[in-house]
Amino acid sequence: MSPLRRGVKSDAPAVAQRVADQLFNDSRVEPLVASELPRAEFESALVASHSPFWVDDSHGRLRGHLYGATLDDPLHGRQTWTGPDGYSFDVEGVLDNLLEWAYREWRAGGSTAHLVWALAGNGTQAWVERGYQIISVRGSTALEDVEPTPWPRGQRLRFATIDDLETAVAFDEMIDQAQGVDVSALSEAQRAANAADVAELLEDPECRYFLVEVDGRPAAQCVTYPLPALRGNFPDTVYLGSLAVHPDLRRRGLARVLVRTALDAARRDGFGHAEVRWHINNHGATSLWSALGFRPTYVQLRRSLVEGPAGD
């Protein structure tokens, strides 16, 4: 009889223990990964989830688990997402069996791809060997005191408001293009969804939307806000994103000064860590974040679930 089965409520404590052990091991490899796991909260969320999870049960001892939430993405369609706490396996054969079961159900539910977060470095090997490709990176740094950098004459830093929506959307499109998105091919619905996301950031009281002007022209932007609880993150983490510099004003150090200013403001607000994310094909972002002290903690990998010549 196969040791693979659907997870049930009574499996939650054992799965939580496996996740706690994995986070502890990850934190020993990369100190910027937090090992804390709110066990009761994790177990409750696992049991209450509408998405199933699977376990490898060898005579009452779990050897692995797999969970994925299938969601509709306005840009990429229906996909299944697995976080760093959504899987574990003692040996790779267990992972193969878990994936075989999960793929069938995910495909039946209309999912076209599986995305998973894995520890940067050796944590990606098992996934890459199974046809997954790295698409993005989570990078973190510990915030330290820095000397404020004065803004040169003619440059002005301010907080953007909803009145700056058009400018913010234009910067957002620059970011999409840098990540390989064909902006001209987006539907009106996708454009409207993107604009709504930007407007939400501009109006969020917890969000700081930094906007740099040079001689009165929009020159650069970035956004910071408290990061919700994510597995592997410290509770005092601020997220920094939506960094963009106008093409005519690049290579003048604007991005570095803007980021240092935003991170210093976050440190003064009581944050101890910062996280950024970037697309693996955005080589400029890879160089910039590394130069600013960010280290990869997790990477996101993707595998198509479409069967046939266009997929597997």
pLDDT at 310: 45
Rounded distance between C-alpha atoms, residue 285 and residue 178, angstroms: 9
Helix/strand/coil percentages in the chain, nearest 5: 40, 30, 30
pLDDT at 258: 94
Rounded distance between C-alpha atoms, residue 271 and residue 294, angstroms: 15
pLDDT tens string for the chain (312 positions)? 468 999 999 999 999 999 999 999 999 999 999 999 999 999 999 999 989 999 999 988 999 999 999 999 877 789 999 999 999 999 999 999 999 999 999 999 999 999 999 999 989 999 999 999 999 999 999 998 767 777 888 899 999 999 999 999 999 998 888 777 888 888 888 889 899 999 999 999 999 999 999 999 999 999 999 998 888 999 999 999 999 999 998 888 899 999 999 999 999 999 999 999 999 988 888 888 999 999 999 999 999 999 764 454
Read off the pLDDT of residues 152-191 as tens digits, 9 standing for 90 and up: 888 999 999 999 999 999 999 988 887 778 888 888 888 8
Confirm if 118 and 127 have CB atoms less than 8 A apart: yes
> Residue 90's closest CA among 3, 18, 26?
18
Domain 4-136 has CATH 3.40.630.30: yes
Ordered by start, the domain boundaries in the chain are 4-136, 144-271
> Residue 185's closest CA among 66, 63, 75?
75
What are the helix (H) ranges across the chain? Answer: 12-29, 39-48, 92-108, 125-128, 165-178, 188-203, 254-268, 283-291
**Within this chain, domains 4-136 and 144-271 share the same CATH topology:** yes
Q: In 59-188, where do the E strands start and end?
A: 61-67, 69-73, 77-82, 87-89, 113-119, 133-142, 155-159
pLDDT at 308: 62
Rounded distance between C-alpha atoms, residue 54 and residue 20, angstroms: 18
Amino acid identity at 93: G
Confirm if 213 and 158 have CB atoms less than 8 A apart: yes
Q: What is the pTM of this model?
A: 0.88
**Architecture category of domain 144-271 in CATH:** 3-Layer(aba) Sandwich (3.40)
Confirm if 82 and 66 have CB atoms less than 8 A apart: yes
